[in-house]
Chains A and B, each alone.
Chain A
Amino acid sequence: MLLSDKENSASKFFILTAVFWLVVGMTLGLTGAIEFVAPDASTGYGPLTFSRIRPAHVNTVAFGWLSMANIGIALYIVPTLTKVKLFNEKLANFVCILWNLAILAGIACLVHGYSEGREYAELPVPIDVVVLIGLLSLSYVIYMTVIHRKVKKLYVSLWYILGAFFWMPIVYFIGNRTFVRLDGLNDAIVNWFYGHNILGMWFTTLGVGIAYYMIPKLSGKPLWSHSLSMLGFWTIAFFYAPTGTHHILQAPVPEWLKALAVVFSVALVIPVITVLTNFFMTMKGSWWQLANNLPLRFVLTGALFYLFTCIQGPFQATRSINWYIHFTQWVPGHAHAALLGTFTFFNFGAIYYILPRILGRQFYSVGLAKAHYWFTFIGFNIFYFVFTVIGLIQASGWQQGMEVSQWSIALEPYWFYRAFGGALMWFGNVLFLINVFMTWRGAKPLDPPDEEPAMSVKRTGV
């Protein structure tokens, strides 16, 4: 059963386990947020300390949830778009098992302090090797599937997915090269090349590729412009990679590297605008569908957050704005807007659409899915807004040259609001886990099949 050759079995296992890791990762994040409100909660127990939980949270949601869900969805999209079976279903299933073990071991290592200490690259070396093997195997599977395809023309989603599976193994290898010892600042430069490109060349490319598939599919309208989507792809391929240094814009690294990072960061507006123009023009005349098409609502909410994040991003990478908001909670707010607000929402929409089609049965409950949407959406808005406000207060404190102890007390209510927003999201995603679990177990659906056509297998109008 584990190494099954059944069609879409790898995709199914990736998605199901990803949803489990999502709730685990969010629980870790929520624990961290609560410890800001009650700092003595972890007294005497190391693994519960905020500073140990944070890397575990980041790695679980980044590699456990987002990467696995992206891979699962890509493993569904690629055979669908190429009209051919996945090249090696067994290998993909094997990678899924390997990856799950890696995440489990990774969380255990990180909370017990076995960390490499570089942001986003904290996982210890053996786990890095496992992840890299998994990535290379998946690249092999996906590239071979595309080579054996029956549809000649490559749809834009395939471009993005192929790009992601080309770049990610390279970026991951560079980011986790512990056998090459670099001096302090060179180490930081390479670290942030990796830290930013894992977002740009992996989460963004896969996420946008998924959205390119989901929006026309869910709205039933053809993509507005294929050439515009190609422009977006090539500009993201060219502009994203050198931007990492904008994370250390105030550190004493070479000026030319900083200038390069700022220029390319601002240039990232181009792919973002082209992608979003394409999305929104595709939706032209069909916005009414948001009222009764929940997966589409998820994807387009993600697209709106994408607009917000990716306009914010280039501007906060400029020196004058970075000067103010650097080092503050504004920045993790921005990171959450990208990974949680945008790509997680894309994945929610995609999972609500894909899972019934893989399992061959209707989603368990539309009500739970709607509750999931509103809890996550409202929770995220509170969460993101509070992050930004905290960031501005901190920035003001640093700019006035005040001691942290003088203004940190002013943040106390905001840490609480942040944990509150996080708790809402956490609750929404527990509902999601229940919903997915019941669907997987084959529980009798609570709603009639035409309640939410996209979430049932019967294609009525979708």
Chain B
Amino acid sequence: MNKNYILPGFVILVSFSLIIFTTVLLPHFIFHPEPSEYAVEYTELEAKGRDIYRREGCVYCHSQFVRLQDRGFGPLVQAGDYVYDTPNLLGTIRTGPDLSNEGGKHPDAWHKAHFINPRTITPGSIMPPFVHLKEDDMEALIAYVQSLGKKRLKKYDRIYRPDEYVAKLEKRTVDVNSSAAANAGRGIFQQNCATCHGTHGLGNGPNAIALAKKPANFSRPFYKDYDDVTWFWRVSEGVPGTRMPQWRKKLTDEQMWYLVAFLKTLPRVNEVYPHSYETLEPDKWLEQLKASEAELNSEPKAMLIETKGPPPMAGGGH
């Protein structure tokens, strides 16, 4: 053999085996994630369903991983979630929704109807009908889809009762009656709440006009009866049926306590807004407050708001 080709041949062999070593073998040696809480060890039926998922080629339109930038799909996936998933069904294209947290999102009957004809459930869907699946195959496939993410979204989306929040009081680190906490809460309120509830919490933020269920007006006497836990529960769990989200998904407990501290300071209806805090004279403020309270008690016209400050516009709330 010509000596000229020995060196190039050697370089090819070395470089290619080096590359194969780093990209194929090295991950195999050093990348061994521990099975996470949500790694599914498939039952016999679910494993059969997984085979059908693979056989029917669901993976060509449905991915099985939530990316950092995805919103509304539930918690981010971790390396340990996939330990039992061989062959991988991560997917490369999302023509349909991501399925990594699909388990528990819909009842079994929903899935069955959806497999038979997707357009009866989601009009406008372009998913092909899987009516050709046999009855037991369909059941296995449903069992598999329900196993995805170990129904973590169900746990995640569950709405807790207010009394389940009483325990939070003990762990609370924020003094909700301090003005410092209220001040911290003001910033959180302006960033997250003011777009709907308005800067003064009157339910007249810029987004309010677009909402069918109007955001709450915190100046109403109703809210003055809220205690700390009720406020916290409401912020944390949101209001089902409205655009009020479950803030615990975004805010920490501490932040929500700051928010509660701020919400408690919002004035009651008919209370007087000073034009600016510089001209505020404490004696006069108390006088006006007493006058408006007297007015409120004599004439129960809750929605007639007379203020010297910015007039409430949209709103009403509950």
By a beta-carbon cutoff of 8 Å, the part of chain A in contact with chain B is 35-36, 39-40, 42-46, 49-52, 54-55, 113-119, 147, 163, 166-167, 170, 174, 181-191, 193, 237-238, 241-242, 244-245, 247-248, 250-254, 257, 260, 323, 326-329, 331-332, 394, 398-399, 401, 403-405, 408-409, 412, 415
Q: Are A252 and B65 in contact (CB under 8 A)?
A: yes
Are the C-beta atoms of A183 and B86 separated by less than 8 Å? yes
Whether B63 lies near A182 (C-beta < 8 A) is no
Interface residues on B, range: 35 or more
Cβ of B128 and Cβ of A250 under 8 Å apart?
no
Q: Which residues of A contact B22 (CB under 8 A)?
A: 242, 260
7 closest cross-chain pairs (CB), A and B: A184-B82, A51-B57, A401-B71, A184-B85, A117-B54, A113-B55, A250-B67
In the assembled complex, B206 has its CB within 8 A of some CB on chain A: no
Residues of A within 8 A of B131 (CB): 43-44
Q: Are B27 and A183 in contact (CB under 8 A)?
A: no
CB distance from A228 to the nearest CB of B (A): 17
Seen from chain B, the residues whose Cβ lies within 8 Å of a Cβ on chain A are: 1, 12, 15-16, 19-20, 22-24, 27-28, 30-33, 54-61, 63, 65, 67-72, 77-79, 81-97, 117-119, 122, 124-133
Contact B94 A115, beta carbon cutoff 8 Å: no
The smallest C-beta distance from A257 to any residue of chain B, in angstroms, reads: 6
User: What is the bound-complex CA distance between A413 and B168, given in angstroms?
Assistant: 53
Q: In the complex the two chains form, is A115's CB within 8 Å of B54's CB?
A: yes
**Contact of A116 with B87 at beta-carbon distance under 8 Å, contacts A39-B126, A43-B131 already known:** yes
Q: Are A42 and B33 in contact (CB under 8 A)?
A: no
By the criterion CB–CB under 8 Å, are A39 and B92 in contact? no
| Chain B residues in 8 Å Cβ range of A115 | 54-55, 57
Contact of A50 among B31, B32, B128 (CB under 8 A): B128
The CA of A44 and the CA of B24, in the complex, are separated in Å by 41
Knowing A51-B128, A186-B28 are in contact, say whether A331-B94 is a contact too (CB < 8 A). no
Nearest CB of chain B from residue A151's CB, rounded to whole Å? 13
A189 touches B129 (CB 8 A): no
A selection of 17 A-B contacts at a CB cut-off of 8 Å is A42-B129, A44-B131, A50-B57, A54-B57, A54-B60, A113-B55, A117-B89, A186-B28, A189-B23, A237-B15, A241-B16, A247-B92, A253-B31, A260-B22, A260-B23, A332-B93, A401-B71
Q: Which residue from B16, B57, B68, B133 sits with its C-beta under 8 Å from A52?
A: B57
Cβ A184 vs Cβ B88 within 8 A: yes
User: What chain A residues lie within 8 Å of B23 (beta carbons)?
Assistant: 189, 193, 241-242, 244-245, 257, 260
C-alpha spacing A163/B16, complex, angstroms: 11
B79 touches A253 (CB 8 A): yes
Chain A residues within an 8 Å CB radius of B31: 185-186, 189, 253-254, 257
Given contacts A327-B92, A328-B93, contact A51 B61 (CB under 8 A): yes
B28 with A182: CB separation less than 8 A:
yes
Q: Which residue of A lies closest to B36 (CB)?
A: A252
| Bound-complex Cα distance A247 to B87 (A) | 16
- Cβ-defined contact, A51 with B58, below 8 A: yes
Find out whether the CB atom of B78 lies under 8 angstroms from the CB atom of A241: no
Least CB separation from A399: chain B residue: B69
* Neighbouring B residues of A399 by C-beta, 8 Å: 69
A185–B57 CB distance below 8 A: no
Nearest CB to that of A406 among chain B residues?
B124
Given A36-B126, A49-B132, A238-B19, 7 further pairs, Cβ under 8 A: A147-B1, A167-B16, A183-B85, A184-B84, A189-B27, A257-B31, A323-B69
Q: How long is the Cα–Cα vector from A193 to B77 in the complex, in angstroms? A: 22
Give min CB distance, A235 to chain B, whole Å. 11
Residue contact A237 to B12, C-beta cutoff 8 Å: yes
Contacting B86 at CB < 8 Å: which of A147, A167, A181?
Answer: A181
A116 to chain B, nearest CB (A): 7
Minimal beta-carbon separation of B136 from chain A (angstroms): 15
Chain A residues near B119 (CB-CB < 8 A): 39-40
In the bound complex, what is the Cα–Cα distance between A242 and B21 (angstroms)? Answer: 10
A186 in contact with B65 (CB, 8 Å) = no
Cβ contact within 8 Å between B19 and A185: no
Contacts of B132 in A (CB 8 A): 44-46, 49
Q: Which residue of A lies closest to B65 (CB)?
A: A251
| Chain B residues closer than 8 Å to A52, beta-carbon distance | 56-57
Question: Are A252 and B56 in contact, with the CB atoms below 8 A?
Answer: no
Smallest distance from the beta carbon of B56 to chain A beta carbons, Å? Answer: 6
Q: Is there an interface contact between A408 and B124, defined as CB atoms closer than 8 Å?
A: yes
Residues in A whose Cβ lies below 8 Å from that of B72: 401, 403
> Nearest A residue to B127 by beta-carbon distance?
A39
* Given A174-B24, A186-B31, A237-B15, CB of A39 within 8 Å of CB of B128: yes
Q: Which residues of B contact A166 (CB under 8 A)?
A: 12
B residues within 8 A CB of A39?
A: 118-119, 125-129
Give the docked Cα–Cα distance between A181 and B83 (Å).
11
Collect the chain B residues with CB atoms within 8 Å of residue A184's CB. 82-86, 88, 90
CB distance from B8 to the nearest CB of A (A): 8
In the complex, the answer to whether A409 meets B129 with C-beta atoms within 8 Å is: no
Known: A39-B119, A241-B23. A329 touches B93 (CB 8 A): yes
Closest CB-CB distance, A247 to chain B, in whole Å?
Answer: 6
